[in-house]
Amino acid sequence: MTRGVSLLAVATVAGVERQGHQMCPSRRPWNAILIPIRVRERAHSKWVPDGECWISSYSVASHGYAQIGWQNKDERHVVLAHRASWELLNGPVPVGHTLDHLCKNRTCVNPVHLRVLTNFENARRTGGLDWPLGVCANGHPDRFLVEDPHRRDKMGNQRIGHRCSKCVSLSRARYLWRKRNSGKPMPFDLLLAREKPQRNGSASRILT
C-alpha cells in the first residue's frame, strides 16, 4: 500500500522541530544528529525493488531495520537507512517524532512508504493495528486522553504517559458485563474496534 506524506504534515513538523531544538539545547535526542547529504543520497539510491518497496542494500541490524554509517573525524555515526532516505527529500525528522513504515516493511527506504508520527502516536500502534491519527484504537478522539499515573518504564520508574479515559470506562464495563453474563457473546456497544465486523472506513484494521 502506498500513501504519501502530506505537505501539511511536513510543514507542521518543521515548526515543531525548531521549537524542540530551542527547548532543549543541552540534550541531544537521537534524531538531533544531522545526517550529511551524501549519506542521505546513498541511502536513497542503494536498494533493490520488491513491488513498490525499495529494499535497502545496507546491512540489517538485529532490530530488523537497515542501517547506514559514516565517519566524521573521530566520531562514527550510524542511523536508520529509511530515515536517511526520507530526510533527503523532507529534511530532518523533528525531535519527538519518528518515521513509521506504512508498508510494514522495515528494510524499505521508499520515502512515500513512510509517514511522520509523534512518538506517542507511534508507541500506541502495537500489534500490527493502524487507525486514523487523532483518535485511539477504538476511535475515541484525543480530547478524552488523560494523564496515566500508573505508567511505568521497564525499570519500574514512573513516567508521564497518557491513556484514553473512554477506553478505561469501556474496559470496566466489559469486565462487569463478563462477570454477570459468563459465556454469552458481548453486546455490540461493548465491542472493541478490532472485534467489530470489518467494513470500509472502519476505525481500526490490521495491517499485514
Applying CB under 5 A, the span of 114-122, 137-145, 171-179, 194-202 interacting with Zn ion comes to: 137-145
Q: Which is nearer to Zn ion, 75 or 147 (CB)?
A: 147
Q: Which residues inside 45-64 make contact with Zn ion, applying CB under 5 A?
A: 53
CA distance to 20, 23, 55, 113, per residue, from 28 (Å): 10, 11, 30, 27
**C-beta closer to Zn ion: residue 64 or 183:** 64
Over 82-113, what HEC string results? HHHHHHHHHCCCCCCEEEEECCCCCCECCHHH
Minimal distance in Å, beta carbon 125 to Zn ion?
Answer: 13
User: How would you label 152-165 residue by residue, b for 16+ Cβ within 10 Å and e otherwise?
Assistant: eeeeeeeeebebbe
Q: Does 66 bind Zn ion (CB under 5 A)?
A: no
Binding mask 151-170 for Zn ion (x = CB under 5 A): -------------x-xx---
By CB under 5 A, name the binding residues for Zn ion.
53, 103, 105, 108, 110, 113, 136, 138, 140, 164, 166-167
